[in-house]
Structure 1
Amino acid sequence: MLSQVRILGLSGSLRRGSLNTALLRAASELLPADATLDIQPLHALPFYDGDVEDQGMPAVVLALKAKIDAADALLLAVPEYNYSIAPVLKNALDWATRPYGQSALDGKPVALIGASIGHHGTVRAQLHLRDVALGTNMHILNGAEILVTNAEAKFDGDLRLTDDRTREMIRQMLRQLVLWTRRIERTQHEVELIA
C-alpha cells in the first residue's frame, strides 16, 4: 500500500500568466496529508518527430518519462484551444507513449482540471482528452473534473486562486484522486499476485 501518493502535475499552457498552471499551484496548497504534487514544466520538450525518436530519445523526454513513471498519478491542467486539447499537452502525452510498447502512461490514474475565461470552462478539451486516454490506457477519475469558468474573476493579480468554492472542489477532487490511485494500485497488486 502506498504511504504517500506522488502526483505529477502537467499544464498544457506555457504562458507565464497561465490560469491553468495557476490551478496546479493552487492544487499544491490543497493536497491531503498523504499526497505530494510536483509540477513539471513542458517548455523544453521538442515537438514529437519520429525522425528525432529514431536518432535516440531526447534527454528532456527521457526525464519527463522518468517523472511520469515515478509518479503514482497525474494531474493534468487542460487549457482549451479551438474546442480541443492544447498542443503542448498533447505533445507531452505523445512523447510519453514512445517508443512503441514503452508507454509511461499505461495504467496511470489521472485527474483533469482546467480554467477558461469563457462560460464552458475547458469541457470540450477535457472530453477530447478522454479519447486520448482510451488510446493510452490512462485511467481518468470520473465525476470529479474541475471546470473553472469565468476564471479571471477567481484569481487575484498574483494568480492565486481566491474563489472558496473552487478551492473546495479542488480539495475534494484531490482526495478522490488519492483514493482512486490507491484503489488502482491495490487492484494491480492483486492481479500480479494471481498471475
Structure 2
Amino acid sequence: MKTIAVVVGSLRKGSLSMKLAKAMEAQAEGRFVFRYVELADLPMYNEDLWENVPASVTALKSAVESADAVLFVTPEYNRSIPPVVKNAIDWGSRPYGKSSWNGKPGGVIGMSPGAIGAATAIAHLRSVLVTLDVVLMGQPEVYFSYRPDTLDADGRFASPDTAAFFETYLKRFDTWIARTMQPKADTQPDND
C-alpha cells in the first residue's frame, strides 16, 4: 500500500477539510495509508531556529520524506491558503538544498461551504508547490462545496455520485503516484 502524507489546512476540531480527508481515507482503505502531518506545533518559520531544530520540524520533514506522495486538503481563507499550510511548506523546503517536497508526487483538493469550494486557495497552493518541484496531478480538480448532507453519520460520502467522484480521484491519484514516484534509495537497482 502507498503511504500518503496528508496536510490538512485547518487546525480546528470541526474542520471540514479534516472531515473530507477522513472520508477519502475511509474510501481509500486497502489502497492507501493516510498519515496526517501535524501542523499545530510548528513554530512560525524563522531561519534562526535551524540552529536548534524544533522536533515538530523534524517530524514534518520525516513524514513527507518517508511518504510515497503528499495530499493537501485545504480550506480557503480570504481567497488564499491558510497560513498554517504556507508555514509547513516553508519549513519543509529548508534548509536550502534539502527540500522535503522535491520530486514528491502530490495532489491538492479543497472544500469550503462557499460556492467556489476553495478554488482560489487551490490555485495559489498549486503555484507555490510547483516552484518546489512537487509533481502535481492536474486532473481531476477538486473544488468541493460542502453541504451538511455531504457526509453520513459514519463520516463517509453520503451521495453515491459524490462517492463515485472521489473514487475516480483516488484511482487517478494512485496511477499518478505509480507513474511519478521516485524509487526509494534502498530499492535502487544495482548497476553491474
What TM-score does the superposition give when structure 1 sets the normalisation length?
Answer: 0.87
Q: 2:99 aligns with which of 95, 100, 103?
A: 103
CA 1:159 to 1:82, structure 2 compared with 1: closer, same or farther past 3 Å? farther
Q: How much is the aligned-residue C-alpha RMSD, in angstroms?
A: 2.3
Q: 1:137 aligns with which of 125, 133, 143?
A: 133
Distance in 2 of aligned mates of 1:68 and 1:156: 30
Q: 2:13 aligns with which of 5, 13, 16?
A: 16
CA 1:188 to 1:142, structure 2 compared with 1: closer, same or farther past 3 Å? farther
The aligned residue for residue 77 of structure 1 is 73
Distance in 2 of aligned mates of 1:22 and 1:142: 23
Letter in 2 for 1:28: E
Distance in 2 of aligned mates of 1:137 and 1:110: 10
What TM-score does the superposition give when structure 2 sets the normalisation length?
Answer: 0.88
5+ residue gaps, structure 1: none
Does structure 1 retain, via aligned residues, the 8 Å contact 2:130–2:136?
A: no
Deviation at 1:30, TM superposition (A): 1.1
Aligned length: 188
CA 1:98 to 1:135, structure 2 compared with 1: closer, same or farther past 3 Å? same
Distance in 1 of aligned mates of 2:152 and 2:130: 36
The aligned residue for residue 114 of structure 1 is 110
1:152 aligns with 2:148: yes
5+ residue gaps, structure 2: none
The aligned residue for residue 25 of structure 1 is 22
Distance in 2 of aligned mates of 1:76 and 1:185: 17
Deviations 1:75-132 (A, max 9, x none): 1101100110111111111110111110000011111121111100011110111110
Deviations 1:8-62 (A, max 9, x none): 1110100100100111101111116332212223111111111222x22211110
Deviation at 1:164, TM superposition (A): 3.0
1:50 aligns with 2:61: no
Letter in 2 for 1:79: P
Does structure 1 retain, via aligned residues, the 8 Å contact 2:17–2:74?
A: yes
The aligned residue for residue 34 of structure 1 is 31
Letter in 2 for 1:144: P
The aligned residue for residue 163 of structure 2 is 167
Give identity over the alignment, percent.
34
